[in-house]
Structure 1
């Protein structure tokens, strides 16, 4: 069994990009789906359903991630990945007829999309971990993280492409097509292309190889997995609260315009991209101890949140956003890299647990931050730093639960000889 080639890795990264872009592209068109089903001018009702539909998508991720992870450990990753992409495409197409599906149908379809996306976002890193030589694993995980971020950034741009395409088709006399329908078709088309690309590029023998566990090894593996799940959930709880807090700052600071809030979101994404690029080109995760990288990231995030809690000017707020984004952007890829050291017997379940914990943390973080900002306003950023402080203390006091795999890396499946020097191949 050989390691993943560049073409195979490119298709896997593209699959992550496509489902991330699909989420970012479809969220802005949710009101257009709902308006025909709502009473006239009932904007409050539409806004409420948009929020609930976002929760339905997250619920699908929460349910699907652990389930797909356990199944992929038993039947193989390739099959589950293709099922996830097929389900993703099939759950999008009925949205072209919202009047036919009805409101309940839209909720079911968004939950189904999240359920099938879960298969993609956990199987792809599991495959990369399982079929990558150790000296390239950190770079490839950093690259996957960058592709996910790029997908979220590209998603809203898909709406602009759909609008231009709609105008072009009308001008060409090809008929009138709603931009919202074209967004759905483009997202489904990209998903279908990824499905065909992966079906052609991934060999059918990509199936899990069960390793022989040493005495006590399976118990230690489970403990480390649970610790990483908790850490991932905590960081995503804080990240979701941090992002919602940026939006709510417009109510606290009248001088902060919607344009500046959008710039802060763009800044957050760009800083995370820079961090992923740094991890890719420097191979930091391969050279530094995981404990130190995580601790540094947590310190940066805590400092950024403290600055946001105390800032009195927009300039300092930009600095706080950058520090928080840099810290979380450093921690999240490191968690995934450490989780990749799990035994292949539990790799899918471990990755599924990470995705599920992230979704749970995101959901609770958004709800809790909305309540906190209503109660203590800007000071909420300081309260968000407390879970990170507690995690940092636990990380420093009980490192053995997190980093036993640093001393004994997981055995590799690749039959390719390791290069003598550092390689920039992803």
Structure 2
């Protein structure tokens, strides 16, 4: 039985996920403000190009860092890697306070480093929670982590508004004018520092001993991990294309204002948050087979994309967004929950691969959707449903890939043998 996490330990871990998610949402809108003074002669088109490249570089940092940090955490310990990741996160933010000094190359290096060190938090927190949580409580805790990540993304843009108000309040008291952009950086770094201190003080010092029944052959464990990585990448590919498609609908439908597009994004986040709350309060993943939950989520998402491909009114578009968000909101936490059943010796690597697959799918989805919507416009939503249909087929055809139990027969114990039978790779 894994050593349980206390309420405060779990709160600090969830807060770390919240802070790095909020930092991404808060800092991304500031990129044009940093770049414009450095590229005043190049025009807005060049600034927009660099904003896109910087976003891609952050994603590349996560893509490279997640499997690396996950693998290292299996050997060095998860708590140590979490603290290292938060130290690197803070150190990568502070140079942005002096954009004129670090220049364009420094901004690129900073964003790439931020993604790389955030990747030490994203897979290691769920790995640590899985490692120290009894199985009957694991699903609720993973739903809680997913909700905190979504709340962080929603909170991030609000941090910019808060910084602007603080700056105005300081100026009105005669304390001097502080750039709101600098305040956002300082607040993001300060929150990261608080998380680092809290985790360093509260995390378990000793990893739990490996359970005696952790005898899943490495080949079966690896097969299941590869299947979950592929599913996570496919869903994130579709989700990225779906979100970009919402933005591009403004060009296809003149009646759709930027305010309505923003409302659809808020709707998407709130529906996914609601699904996470449902999973948390009902313990659905503990009561139902993960494969069935994922199948239901895929059907919902496919139905939503079909509505978006055929809609003729804004009302139906809102319905399609809700269905797609609800479906993906069911599938993603279920994938994480099933990945948490990996062998403890490979848990960090499994979670790291999951995060890397998500980043890879998101990057490809954004690029492919841009081309797809330029070619077939609204019907692109129907094309985006194809990866989900293919995944639904694998759930039906290959049920063993998604089972939390060992799909291969175990060697029976011989009563006279004083030692348990183990797989040759584990001797």
Provide the TM-score with structure 1 as the length reference. 0.93
Contact 1:211–1:343, Cα closer than 8 Å, also in 2: no
Deviation at 1:211, TM superposition (A): 5.6
Task: Determine the C-alpha separation between the residues in 1 that align with 2:355 and 2:404.
Answer: 22
User: Could you tell me how far apart the structure 2 residues matched to 1:58 and 1:41 are?
Assistant: 25
Superposition deviation, residue 31 in structure 1: 0.6
**d(CA) in 2 for partners of 1:76, 1:208:** 11
Equivalent residue runs for 1:212-361 within 5 Å: 217-361=217-361
Q: Distance in 2 between matches of 1:28 and 1:216?
A: 46
What is the match of residue 10 of structure 1? 11
Q: How many residues are paired up?
A: 407
Kept in 2: contact 1:289–1:406 (CA 8 A): no
- In structure 2, the gaps of 5 or more residues are 409-427
Tell me: CA distance 1:374–1:81, structure 2 relative to 1, closer, same or farther (3 Å): same
What corresponds to 2:140 in structure 1?
A: 139
Closer/same/farther in 2, CA of residues 281 and 213 from structure 1, 3 Å limit: closer
CA positional deviation for 1:214: 7.0
Aligned counterparts of 2:315 and 2:169: Cα–Cα separation in 1 = 42
Alignment of 1:22-421 (within 5 A): 22-40=23-41, 42-205=43-206, 207=207, 209-210=209-210, 217-405=217-405
Kindly report structure 1 stretches of 4+ aligned residues shifted beyond 4 Å.
Answer: 208-216
Deviation of the 1:59 alpha carbon: 0.3
Residue 2 of structure 1, CA deviation: 2.7
Give the equivalent residue in structure 2 for 1:417: none
Task: Give, in whole Å, the separation in 2 of the partners of 1:96 and 1:83.
Answer: 22
- Give the whole-Å Cα distance in 2 for the aligned partners of 1:345 and 1:210: 8
CA deviations 1:105-151 (Å, max 9, x no partner) are: 11111010000001101110001100011111000000000000000
Cα pair distance change 1:404/1:176, threshold 3 Å: closer
Per-residue CA deviation, residues 205-256 of structure 1 (Å, 9 max, x unaligned), is 2x36456687761110000000000000000000000000000000000000
CA distance in 1, matches of 2:210, 2:204: 18
CA distance in 2, matches of 1:406, 1:166: 57
Distance in 2 of aligned mates of 1:2 and 1:131: 5
SS of 1:386's equivalent?
helix
More deviation, 167-176/177-186: 167-176
Q: How many angstroms does 1:203 deviate by?
A: 3.1
* Counterparts in 2 of 1:387 and 1:196: CA distance versus 1, 3 Å: same
| 1:125-183 residue CA offsets vs partner (Å, 9 max, x unmatched) | 00110001111100000000000000000000000110011111111222211110101
| Post-superposition offset of 1:405 | 2.4
Following the alignment from structure 2 to structure 1, what is the Cα–Cα distance between the partners of residues 126 and 68?
16
Aligned alpha-carbon RMSD (Å): 1.5
Whole-Å separation in 1 of the counterparts to 2:120 and 2:346 = 15
Structure 1 distance, partners of 2:216, 2:159, is: 50
* 3-state SS in 1 of match to 2:174: coil
